[in-house]
Amino acid sequence: MTPHPSVTKLLIVEDDSAVRTTMTTCLELEGYEVEAVSSTREALDTLERKSFPIVISDIYLDERTGIDVLKSARRQNPECAVILMTGRGSMETVMAATAGGAFDYLAKPFEMAQMIDTIKRAEKSLEATGENEAASIDDIPETEMIGSSKTMVEIYKTISRVAPTDATVLIEGETGTGKELIARMIHKNSLRANHAFVPVDCGSIAPSLLESELFGALKGAYTGADRDRMGVFEAAHGGTVFLDEIGDIDLGFQSKLLRFLQEREVRPLGSPRVKKVDVRVIAATNRDVQKMVDDGKFREDLWYRLNVVRLLLPPLCERTADIPLLVHYFLKRYNERYRLHTRLIDSGLKVLLEYSWPGNIRQLQHMMERLTILAPHGRIDTGAVQQAIEQGDSRESTSETLADTETDQIRRVMAATNGNKSRAAKILGIERKTLYRKLEKMGL
């Protein structure tokens, strides 16, 4: 008698009937035994009765979610590989999925080939280990990271895997793409969360001072050192140091940084003694450091040390799918902050979607703040957005001129910020002293 080849049983939980049917058909053709249900209720009932090695579930279903299905499946069978899928992935859901022991997480829409590939990997890992660590998912971490495009979901997955480790992470991306925010998320979701997160902008500190800033210095170690100073690495003991603009440090200091990464010891300037410190390092750059390495301007060995885990943040124009989410998020936030009721009109969103965003999310955020306060009649429409874009462009290239509506704009921004002049100047995109001058002219 020939042994019956074992057929893997799959449970699919998906409320969209078209997706459910397509998946069922495809996976049955692949030789799987498929049971498909459309609600969490049915899913939980089915899991009570029967054990499945692999469960594939949508996340947003009904009053309960795929995370509940995940919990239940893993409670009945701790080895169950759960594959979650969603078109609305957020940092929270990916973190919850990972923390709950999900096998993988697919952003919709996906190709069936990708799903089959994931199932095959799940089967392999079931054969290989037979054991999977279960974790609690009761506290879903909070975040202010917006974005559910495929690239962002991939980034969330990497973060959730790498955060709890002490691995050095290198974050690359253009200005304003969220490098510092990502670094903070990694720290917040790490075992070091209760310790310090200390950012250091290597680009804005004079090369001669960077060493004492990071390693510390004893009194008299250099001219102007009038007291002992503890360095950042020591001050952040137990926590995370974020080295921003890592591409800006000079070759001389690069070797010292490399030594630190290898030894995790600091010797304050002028001190004979070294101290062990326990910090995690996250570095970021908006420069092409690989090219600097090729040109001999950045040490290759340091590059490898930093580059244990590499996260590449795409420019906003390459993930326009996230623009509507970000726009609504910032609109809500600034409406709340300034107690306004500004509305976004479809035509306005269209212009925002078509813009190229050279300053990425930071630029979008600033523009939304301005628009929330200044959009005529509280309506962000084509005209309002076009005007904001033109103003932003002209400010960058030439002077500080605002349009004819200047006086009116200044009044509104001053009212919204309760007369806070530095905030107002920032929103208007002009220097504080320029604002003073203008207010004087207006007799305010």
Give the footprint of Mg ion on this chain (CB under 5 A). 180
- The CA distance from 157 to 142, in Å, is 16
Residue 150, binding choice from Mg ion, ligand ATP, none, Cβ under 5 to 8 Å by partner class: none
**Angstrom distance (rounded) from CA 196 to CA 198:** 6
- Tokens at 75, concatenated: 């409670």
Q: What is the nearest approach in angstroms of ligand ATP to the Cβ of residue 361?
A: 4
Q: Which CB sits closer to ligand ATP, 217 or 326?
A: 326
Largest CA distance in the chain: 99
Residue 178 is a binding residue for ligand ATP (CB under 6 A): yes
Residue length, the chain?
444
Q: Is 360 helix (H, G, I), strand (E, B) or coil?
A: helix
Nearer to ligand ATP, 36 or 171 (CB): 171
Identify the three-state secondary structure at position 269.
strand
Is 361 near ligand ATP (CB under 6 A)? yes
Angle at CA of residue 81, ends 77 and 84, nearest 5°: 120
286 binds ligand ATP (CB under 6 A): yes
- Could you say which of Mg ion, ligand ATP, none residue 177 binds, taking C-beta under 5 to 8 angstroms by partner kind? ligand ATP
H or E, element range at 413: helix 406-416
CB 371 within 8 A of CB 410: no
Measured from the CB atom, is 98 or 286 closer to ligand ATP? 286
Nearest distance, CB of residue 116 and Mg ion, angstroms: 40
Q: Which two tokens stand for residue 153?
A: 């979901």
Q: Does the protein bind ligand ATP through residue 179 (CB under 6 A)?
A: yes
DSSP 34-62: EEEESSHHHHHHHHHH---SEEEEESB-S
Pick from 13, 36, 146, 323: which binds ligand ATP (CB under 6 A)?
146
> HSE of 136 in the Cβ direction (CA atoms, 13 Å)?
3
> Residues 155-174: x/- map of binding to ligand ATP (CB under 6 A)?
------------------x-
Choose among 305, 281, 163: nearest CA to 233.
281
Which helix (H) or strand (E) is 379 found in, with range? strand 379-380
Tell me phi and psi for residue 164, to 5 degrees: -70, -10
- Binder among 26, 112, 140, 181 for ligand ATP (CB under 6 A): 181
Which of 16, 42, 180, 406 is the binder for ligand ATP (CB under 6 A)?
180
Q: Which is nearer to ligand ATP, 118 or 286 (CB)?
A: 286
Site for ligand ATP in 93-122 (CB under 6 A): none
Kindly state the smallest distance separating residue 284's Cβ from ligand ATP, in Å. 6
- Distance in Å, CB of 332 to ligand ATP, minimum: 12
Are 8 and 56 a contacting pair, CB within 8 Å? no
The partner in contact with residue 25, picked from Mg ion, ligand ATP, none with C-beta cut-offs of 5 to 8 angstroms by kind, is none
* Between 15 and 180, CB nearer to ligand ATP: 180
Nearer to Mg ion, 176 or 216 (CB): 176
Residues that bind ligand ATP (CB under 6 A): 144-147, 173, 175-181, 286, 361-362, 365
